[in-house]
Amino acid sequence: MNHTLILLAALLLAPLAETAAAVSSSIHPGQSWLDTDGVLINAHGFCTLRHGDKYYWYGSHKIAGKTESENNEAGVRCYVSRDLLNWENAGMVLSKTAQGMSPEVADAGILDRPKVIYIPATGRFVMYFKLYGPMTPEGKLNTKEAYVGVATATQPTGPFAYQGKFLGGGSETGSGDFAIFQDADGVAYHIAVRKPDKGRKDKPLVCGRLSDDGLKPAGEYVAMEGVENATEAPALFRHAGKYYLLGSGSSGWAPNAARMFVADHLTGPYQSLGNPCRGMNPHNQLGPEKTFGGQSTFVFPVPGRRGTFIAMFDINNPEDPVHSGYIWLPLEFSTNQPAIRWRSEWNLSVFEEK
């Protein structure tokens, strides 16, 4: 073949390559989830957000070849979708290596569990993330200073500009896993695991109101009465006038049993609903006792469908975090008792089954 022919062949084949990634019509929990380019989705400890007619998936970008004991996060990556099934890579919306980035972010040992809300009053998207200090001189993760980092953007796909950090939770050492819950009146709350400090050994879940612009705590944190001590990975949602909390136990990256609570008021008192998981994940043979191998990260109220929620989990893979996975399952209510049943394949039509 001469050069002209090779060029012609390349031009003809190029469009085929671009459309190679198959269009999905369902979700396959626990299986590799590819973006519309056919590349593994890399957005962990994630959340989703609906804005306009699109959905946004934000998660921590894990660096290939590094373990969770290393400085293995590059920042926050975003994907965009119109159907919650097919996700297009929208790039890094907060990057540790961005030009002019604050050293608080650039040198962070942990930048994890990003959550994004939209604040109509300011027209800003506000992103929160677990932000821990630089690695110790011995090369260990520094978990002593557990901050919440805050960044804002005027567009959902960023870029997000770093605004600073706060030690939430009312502890001198800060807070661990957290949820950001925006109530019906638009007020946002930071719900977090309070770290032990000099005076206290326990790890209660605490709730604090954020300022109207969402950038910092605006008052005292209160313990969420009735929530089991050391409940991690919290995800909150409201249903039929009640507040529900999904969370995990505390066993590091290893899976444990999910737990759920309900209350009439955001701060409690909460009542235990036990473990909402049912069934088994056939890919790893794990059931409710290990949350199908996952750990909660978010509960997404499906827009336009009252009372329908998607429970979202990470499958942690501390030795090879870039291959950590995702579990999305419908969260179903019957007589107000929530249940998260394993399904190997499903789509939004399950919410019309009843």
Q: Is 91 helix (H, G, I), strand (E, B) or coil?
A: strand
| Minimum CB distance to ligand GAL smaller for 112 or for 332 | 112
Q: Does 233 bind ligand GAL (CB under 6 A)?
A: yes
- Cβ atoms of 294 and 315 closer than 8 Å: yes
User: How far apart are the C-alpha atoms of 188 and 215, rounded to whole Å?
Assistant: 10
Q: Is 73 in the site for ligand GAL (CB under 6 A)?
A: no
Q: What angle do CA 23, 307, 291 make, to 5 degrees?
A: 70
Using CB under 6 A as the binding rule, whether residue 113 contacts ligand GAL is answered as yes
Q: Which stretch binds ligand GAL (CB under 6 A): 24-32, 58-66, 97-105, 246-254?
A: 246-254
Contacting residue, 87, 112, 234, 270, with ligand GAL by CB under 6 A: 112
Cα-Cα-Cα-Cα torsion 237, 209, 162, 39, nearest 10 degrees, comes to -10
DSSP code at position 31: S
Task: Please identify which residue in 104, 161, 213, 253 interacts with ligand GAL, judged by CB under 6 A.
Answer: 253
Q: How far is the CB of 110 from ligand GAL (least distance, A)?
A: 7
Alpha-carbon distances of 283 from 21, 35, 229, 232, 330, rounded to whole Å: 23, 21, 31, 25, 18
Site for ligand GAL in 31-70 (CB under 6 A): 45
Q: Which residue lies nearer to ligand GAL by CB, 84 or 127? A: 127
Residues 6+ apart with CB under 8 A from 93: 58, 75, 76, 77, 78, 127, 153, 157, 158, 159, 160
Nearest position to ligand GAL, beta carbon = 252
Question: Between 59 and 338, whose beta carbon lies closer to ligand GAL?
Answer: 59
Stretch of 32-40, 149-157, 207-215, 249-257 contacting ligand GAL, by CB under 6 A: 249-257
Query: Is position 232 an interface residue for ligand GAL (rule: CB under 6 A)?
Result: yes
Sheet holding 44-51, edge to edge: 44-51, 54-62, 73-81, 88-95
Note the residues at the interface with ligand GAL (CB under 6 A). 45, 112-113, 177, 232-233, 250, 252-253, 295
